[in-house]
Structure 1
Amino acid sequence: MSRPARPAAARRFSLRPALVWAHRILGLSTALFLVIAGLTGSVLAFHHELDEWLNPSAYRATAAGTPLGPEALARAIEAGHPDRRVWYMTLETEPGHAANAAALGRIDPATGEAVPIPADVFQVDPVSGEVLAARLWGACCFSSLNIIPFLYEFHHNLSLPGVYGILLMGGVAILWLVDGFVGFALTLPRGQPFLAKWRAAFAIKGGSAFRLNLDWHRAAGLWLFVLLIILAISSVAMNLRREVVEPVVSLFSQLTPTPFSNPPLEKLAERTLSFDTMLETGLKEARARGWQEPASEIFFSPHYGVFGVAFGDHDDPMDTRWLYFDGETAAFRNAIIPGVGTAGDVFIQIQFPIHSGRILGLTGRILIAVMGVVIAGLAITGVAVWWMKRKGRVGRKAKARAGKASDARTKAMPAE
């Protein structure tokens, strides 16, 4: 018995129109944000080098002698303004290198929040304690001291207040991730031979402006598809780690709790233990673990009431090992060591090194700088393809309307 033929409507059904519509909406809604994120990210791949080139005096420490301890260095920075409270610093031991430090305003007992201060990021001579440069992180806009921190914040949250920019750019990253798979699906050919037909999508044939933009948009997206998806995932992790990435990852792999797994404190905590005490505590724990190098960073988080002491190269997140201690009792809380932990832990750990390119050293940073330009180019060519298609549709409709009007006039004319 022969199989009954499917209705014509069923034979004509295709998912492609829905994918085209989704790609158009997702692409147009994220294009401007991706251009901004791509171009600023390309610059920020070398943010430290660019900042040092723009502000050489901020990074050149000239005093000779033994570096100050972290508590004395914090006091030297805080002496410049009565409301400064240093919460982070690098522990520079190489002669001629400035230490980096960050501060919050003193905590207002009535509100539990930090009072505003005119500068919160500092480059400091680690021997003399002299503040070489002081700036408000993310302040607008294009002075040599402000340009790199401003671009950093603009890339991360469009310099919008509170969490609004963070959530917005995180949402854009999710849409970009989804659109990446939609765009990939649209390159898949219909009919056979599959590979022979698909091969054409990887080529840039050129010709008209429309053809060149379409080929570049499609081919670049295909050749770099894996890198683009990896970057999109890391972009989500940079803004929505707690809200999206950790819950999703925990479905597949257990995550080890950290001092930052719980919500932040309702009111900021005052630091009651000295940095010197916590440095010694960190060194003792590190030596017990067989780590012999000096500490490279130290901080106290008023938001979580936790001290952290780092060992390794603070410019290489894959080499930085952190020990965490209770802010009131100095009791050991946890350690985060790159590459150590569950599969989910390691996945979370590598997101920033991937996003910054530092997971592959200089090669990775160059790759990120190039990819930033490519991402902006994909967004621009996508908009160009849509605009040229739209112009064509509008033109065809106008011609059709003109033709109908002409026919109507011809029919209305009296016969001779």
Structure 2
Amino acid sequence: MAKPAPAKRFTLRPALVWAHRILGLSTALFLAIAGLTGSVLAFHHELDEWLNPSAYRTTAVGTPLSPDALARAVEAGHPDFRVWYLSLPHEAGEAAEVAALGRIDPATGEPVPIPADTFLVDPVSGEVLAARLWGACCFSALKIMPFLYELHHNLSLPGIYGTLLMGGVALLWLVDGFVGFALTLPRGRPFLTKWRSAFTIKGGSAFRLNIDLHRAAGLWLFVVLIALALSSVAMNLRQEVVEPVVGLFSKLTPTPFSGGPLAPLRERTLSFDTVLEAGLKEARGRGWQEPAGEIFYSPHYGVFGVAFGDHDDPMDRRWLYFDGATGAFRSASLPGVGTAGDVFIQLQFPIHSGRVFGLTGRIIIAVMGVVIAGLAITGVAVWWMKRKGRVGRKGKARTAQAGRGKEPRARAKAMPAE
């Protein structure tokens, strides 16, 4: 009596291979762009200053202008300009960074277009050293760093479309990272001995080298890659994805920016100087003795913000928020303070930029940008070489099949007639 055929054992691996291929091919181009631009942006301020030294070189000596006087210097002769952000430098020779929007159009409730929206200004004389439209194309010395910043963040697409697209890519990348990790796990024992080979680059053929580089780099740097993927999701889909998910595990403290923006937008009615004075008073009451470093007004939320601490260190920068209509204190955002969910969200930008570890972290991010682009390229190369192999094998099989079909007829023609 014949033995029944053994039942086929279900395996998840084919599904994982398919998912890794689809997710990898779908995100490869976007990740290559994001990786290479992110590598440059790890030092965007230093590179921008190197490319545009005259825009950052100030010569006037004396007491810096007040925020309102600095805003008037930028708005002078431009009735549609509305300054909303100013850095407040205190070191000699340092330029102030100023940002503006167009005035609010009563018919649409939105800012009117303006030819330039970011400025570098001498904080003592008020001289505008450089003016540019943030993110405008493309590769002039004054445009390239803002252009690369927007290309990295939203592919320079208008509105929220690019932000949502790159957020979706980051979400797929996050999932694909775990799928790729699962595919490296060995299918037999001893587990560690067999898995060890996945961490090595054995080389040989072009295919072997590409697959080894792709797999080994992904394994050795898995934790960093997942952290970058997660922080990428947080940068682009904070309200849509990250806050709802984090809120399931930890309560999030509401901020002045919780909820949707105002409609229509609200023009500034209080002076920057008045709010700065309120910010300094609140800071002194908390025992902060350093001067304020930044001030802004958000017409989208009707909120002022005043920052204290190191401008380049997000782990030291502390924000105080004030009501845009009354100037009353509303809340504070302090690094490391709040619920576990608050702190988790606070950490995402410092992790993504590498600034959580200072200069070392930024160097790591610059290197990781190249690695991410390399993973995307080697992944596509492996797929292409496998595809060529499959196509070649199918072609040979069809040729062989055609040959087998012709062989009997050829023999029949060769046989003598009876």
1:259 maps to: 256
Q: How far does the alpha carbon of each residue in 1:163-221 deviate from its partner, in whole angstroms, 9 at most, with x for none? A: 11000000000000000000000000001111100000000000000000000000000
Structure 1 stretches (4+) deviating beyond 6 angstroms?
none
1:30 and 1:113 map into 2 onto residues whose CA distance is 34
Q: How far does the alpha carbon of each residue in 1:71-109 deviate from its partner, in whole angstroms, 9 at most, with x for none? A: 000001100412110000000111100000100011112
| Residue number among 42, 45, 49 corresponding to 2:46 in the alignment | 49
| Residue number among 246, 262, 269 corresponding to 1:249 in the alignment | 246
1:390 maps to: 387
1:6 and 1:219 map into 2 onto residues whose CA distance is 42
Q: Kindly indicate whether residue 36 of structure 2 is the aligned counterpart of residue 39 of structure 1.
A: yes
Mapping for residues 400-415 of structure 1, pairs under 5 Å: 400-413=397-410, 414-415=413-414
Mapping for residues 294-313 of structure 1, pairs under 5 Å: 294-313=291-310
2:6 maps to: 8
DSSP-derived class of the 1:88 partner = strand
1:141 maps to: 138
2:202 maps to: 205
1:368 maps to: 365
2:100 and 2:7 map into 1 onto residues whose CA distance is 67
2:322 maps to: 325
Q: Kindly indicate whether residue 341 of structure 2 is the aligned counterpart of residue 344 of structure 1.
A: yes
Q: Kindly indicate whether residue 102 of structure 2 is the aligned counterpart of residue 105 of structure 1.
A: yes
**AA at the equivalent of 2:198:** A
| Residue number among 273, 278, 286 corresponding to 1:276 in the alignment | 273
1:214 maps to: 211
Q: CA deviation at 1:351?
A: 0.5
Q: Kindly indicate whether residue 192 of structure 2 is the aligned counterpart of residue 185 of structure 1.
A: no
2:160 and 2:269 map into 1 onto residues whose CA distance is 29
| Residue number among 70, 80, 97 corresponding to 1:73 in the alignment | 70
Q: CA deviation at 1:316?
A: 1.2
Q: 1:6 to 1:335 in 2, by over 3 A?
A: farther
Q: How far does the alpha carbon of each residue in 1:362-391 deviate from its partner, in whole angstroms, 9 at most, with x for none? A: 000000000000000001000000000010
**AA at the equivalent of 1:292:** Q
Q: CA deviation at 1:110?
A: 1.9
Q: 1:92 to 1:7 in 2, by over 3 A?
A: farther
DSSP-derived class of the 1:178 partner = helix
1:241 and 1:149 map into 2 onto residues whose CA distance is 22
1:141 and 1:388 map into 2 onto residues whose CA distance is 35
Tell me the matched-pair count. Answer: 411
1:285 maps to: 282
Q: 1:7 to 1:272 in 2, by over 3 A?
A: farther
Q: Kindly indicate whether residue 89 of structure 2 is the aligned counterpart of residue 62 of structure 1.
A: no
Q: CA deviation at 1:313?
A: 1.1
1:320 and 1:8 map into 2 onto residues whose CA distance is 65
1:394 and 1:124 map into 2 onto residues whose CA distance is 61
Q: CA deviation at 1:162?
A: 0.8
Q: Kindly indicate whether residue 93 of structure 2 is the aligned counterpart of residue 96 of structure 1.
A: yes
2:165 and 2:394 map into 1 onto residues whose CA distance is 37
DSSP-derived class of the 2:176 partner = helix
Q: How far does the alpha carbon of each residue in 1:140-183 deviate from its partner, in whole angstroms, 9 at most, with x for none? A: 00111000000000000001111110000000000000000000
2:119 maps to: 122
Q: 1:285 to 1:6 in 2, by over 3 A?
A: farther
2:343 and 2:253 map into 1 onto residues whose CA distance is 10
Q: How far does the alpha carbon of each residue in 1:41-96 deviate from its partner, in whole angstroms, 9 at most, with x for none? A: 00000000000000001001110100000000000110041211000000011110
Q: CA deviation at 1:315?
A: 1.3
**AA at the equivalent of 2:250:** S
1:86 maps to: 83
1:46 and 1:382 map into 2 onto residues whose CA distance is 27
Q: CA deviation at 1:10?
A: 4.0
Q: How far does the alpha carbon of each residue in 1:126-146 deviate from its partner, in whole angstroms, 9 at most, with x for none? A: 000000000000000011100
2:288 and 2:367 map into 1 onto residues whose CA distance is 37
Q: For structure 2, which runs of at least 5 residues remain unmatched after alignment? A: none
1:21 maps to: 18
2:147 maps to: 150
DSSP-derived class of the 1:370 partner = helix
**AA at the equivalent of 1:72:** A
Q: Kindly indicate whether residue 351 of structure 2 is the aligned counterpart of residue 354 of structure 1.
A: yes
1:139 and 1:86 map into 2 onto residues whose CA distance is 19
2:111 and 2:7 map into 1 onto residues whose CA distance is 65
Q: For structure 1, which runs of at least 5 residues remain unmatched after alignment? A: none
Which range moved further: 76-85 or 20-29?
76-85
Please provide the CA RMSD for this pair. Answer: 1.1
1:282 and 1:172 map into 2 onto residues whose CA distance is 39
